Each structure stands twice: as C-alpha cells, then as structure tokens.
Amino acid sequence: MSSSSAASKRPSDQELTQTYNSMKSELNQLAQKIGELETEADEHTLVVDTISPLDGDRKCFRLVGGVLVERTVKEVLPALKTNQEGIRTVTMQLVQKYKNKEDEFMAFQKKYNIQVKN
C-alpha cells in the first residue's frame, strides 16, 4: 500500500513534460525581458551622456507616450536619470528572479532525474 501512495505522488511523464516546458518558457521570457531592459538602459545612458554637457536652456525633444514633445535639457535630464535608475532597479530584480527560477528549475530536473537529449 505504501508503494502505491509513493507512486501516486510522482507526476506522470506528461505532467513532468508540461511543467518542464512551462518552467523553461518562463526562464526564456525573463531572459528576454532582461535583455530588453538592458538595451533600454544603454539607450538612456547614451542620451544622458549626449545631452549632459549641453546648455540647460537648449531645447530638446522627448517621446512621451508616442507623442514628441519639446522640452529643455534641464527639464529632460532629471527625468531621464530617474527612468534610468528605475530600469536598473527593475533589471536587478528580474535578474534575481531569474536566478531563483533557474534554481527551482535545476532542483525540479534533479528531483525527477530529467535529462535533456538533443
């Protein structure tokens, strides 16, 4: 009787495959989002470095919600720096989440002795 209860605790191969694919997909999505945010942070850095030495009263244009608006460098620079820090913070959080999910994924593979064949 104890062997049947132990056997019933192990998910079926189909359930294992489904869980494996779901976890792998989630890891891929996180990695993709991290990549997008890193690119966005790089773009912010480039813009900040470009407009920082300019006169604060010089006009510049900023895309806000799909609308190009005219502002001055002194208005745009603080907002860019704030956005840049926010992006970095979110990226660091996602990297930590990715590491945790990756650890979960590895533990899952080890627990059920899952080996990927190419």
> Where are the extended beta strands (E) located within the chain?
59-64, 67-72
Q: Concatenate the DSSP letters of all residues of 75-94 into one string.
A: HHHHHHHHHHHHHHHHHHHH
pLDDT tens over the chain, length 118 residues: 444 444 458 899 999 999 999 999 999 999 999 999 999 999 999 999 999 999 999 999 999 999 999 999 999 999 999 999 999 999 999 999 999 999 999 999 999 999 888 8
Res 8: pLDDT: 56
